[in-house]
Amino acid sequence: MLNSDFLPGYLSQSENIEELPKQSDVVIIGGGLLGTALSYYLAKAGVEVTLLERNDLNREASGTNAGSFHFQIALHQLTENMTEADDKRLVDETKLMLDAAKLWDDIEKELNADLGVHFTGGFMVAETQEELQVLRDKQRIEEAAGLETHVMTGNEMREFAPYMAPDLSGIAFCPREGHANPLLVGPAYAYRAHELGTKIRTNCEVSRIEQITGNPGYRFKVHTNRGTILCNRVVNASGAWTAELSSQLGLNLPMGLSGLHVNVTEPREFFLSSMIQHIGRRLTLKQTANNTFIIGGGWPSREEKFPLRYSNIWESAAGNAAVAVRVLPMLKDVQLVRVWSGVWAYTNDFKPILGESEKIPGYHIAMVPTGFTLGPMVSRMLAEYMTQPGTQNLLPKEFHVDR
């Protein structure tokens, strides 16, 4: 039973203004979805946690994303000449998505909060015969992994989704896909973590992580604008800034960052309950509960140095809208009313960086590119690793921090 009165929001400032604790078993850097979810799962297992966020909670990627669950295989996961090894990799990656889907099934009950979770399905569309073949190939792999998808063409497609452009070469439909409200999920985790004893300090920027010896029980001194804190274990969950902080310790992470653009339209009568993606072009599209359309899919925004926000680019607004109209022609006279952008961190192989560094014992990283979909699950995996000795096999080798 959900507690409909519970609206996860920012925590009361009364605790936040208290001093930084002098020490903590675990210090988590970053109050996005990964940091807050991890603090919850660790606190639930009885671990002493302090979470440090330089701004407010959930203000970066975790509060600026589109909220989609991406379970179907997407373009970036495919290679030009797919081998048997690629097929196997994709089966594994799809199984991971299915595990994430199971977590999302139960998350509202777990956190006793309405987080806007919906499983109303997702389309992947194709415009050309080559793209249609990709839909068929990926469907075979998804089936092997246990993810239900259906490829439709011609009249079957037009009957199933009459609002789509009738000349698309085909569509894949995945009933399991869906979305949740990104403004609510991270704060709900933080709220519940706080109830379980996690100390959360916002406006607390970590400037340096110092490895120390000679202070029994503590391996790190974390320096912030609000003082220092000793800890045994650090988790860097600082999203797009993960590499910057890690480089101080001599780690060179295989990651990059990019600004992503999102369009929002005026409302129209509700008809689109499923999300739409494109197998060959950059598009994610969905209609929200207040009837507007959110259109994204990886169009870039312009880099600005923190604390400035990434700024929007006209070509991205127009290019993104053009792909949306191509797929859903009825959008052609719908006005764009606003745009936003956020900073997205990715890895070169699109896999998470998750676990403890062998070079720097006690130093952990929690970072994942498809981080709304996978964030809660990888955070729970890391919490299990950190609380149960000998559970290294919970973390796939290809996620390794020192890879």
Choice between 157 and 366, CB closer to ligand FAD? 366
- Report the alpha-carbon distance of residue 183 to residue 181 in Å, rounded: 5
Q: Smallest distance from the beta carbon of 286 to ligand FAD, in angstroms?
A: 9
Interaction site with ligand FAD (CB under 6 A):
29-35, 52-55, 59-62, 64-68, 70, 205-206, 237-241, 245, 260, 262, 296, 342-344, 367, 369-373, 375
Provide, rounded to whole angstroms, the least separation between the CB of residue 32 and ligand FAD: 2
Residue closer to ligand FAD by CB (options 169, 277) is: 277
Cβ pair 293, 345 in contact under 8 A: no
Shortest Å distance, C-beta 132 to ligand FAD: 24
Q: Which is nearer to ligand FAD, 69 or 152 (CB)?
A: 69
- Contact, 235 vs 362, CB < 8 A? no
φ/ψ (deg, to 5) at 255: -140, 165
Residue 261 C-beta: closest distance to ligand FAD, Å: 7
| Cβ neighbours of residue 335 closer than 8 Å, sequence gap 6 or more | 265, 266
Nearer to ligand FAD, 64 or 292 (CB): 64
Q: How far is the CB of 216 from ligand FAD (least distance, A)?
A: 26
Nearest to 286 by CA among 313, 277, 403: 277
Asked if 304 and 328 count as a contact pair (C-beta separation under 8 A), the reply is no
Smaller CB separation from ligand FAD, 74 or 90: 74
**Smallest distance, ligand FAD to C-beta of residue 204, A:** 6
Give how far Cα 384 sits from Cα of 39, 93, 387, 395, Å: 12, 20, 5, 9
Q: Quick check: helix, strand or coil at residue 124? A: strand
The nearer residue to ligand FAD, 65 or 169, going by C-beta atoms, is 65
Structure tokens at 361: 């014992």
Dmax over CA atoms of the chain, in Å, equals: 73
